[in-house]
Amino acid sequence: MQAIAEGKLDEAELSAAERALLEYVTKVTEAAYRTTEEDVRTLRGHGWTEPQIAEAVYITAMFAFFNRVADAFGISPQGYLEMNTMTK
Q: How many CB atoms lie within 10 A of CB 75?
A: 11
Task: Please give the Cα distance from 22 to 24 (Å, whole number).
Answer: 5
Residue 17 has pLDDT above 70, yes or no: yes
| Overall number of domains in the chain | 1
Residue 42 has pLDDT above 70, yes or no: yes
Global pTM reads: 0.78
Window from 31-40, 57-66, 70-79 with minimum mean pLDDT: 70-79
Residues of the domain holding 29:
2-87
Say what percent of the chain tops pLDDT 70.
89
Q: Is 39 exposed, middle or buried (0-12, 13-18, 19+ CB in 10 A)?
A: middle
Residue range 26-34: average pLDDT? 95
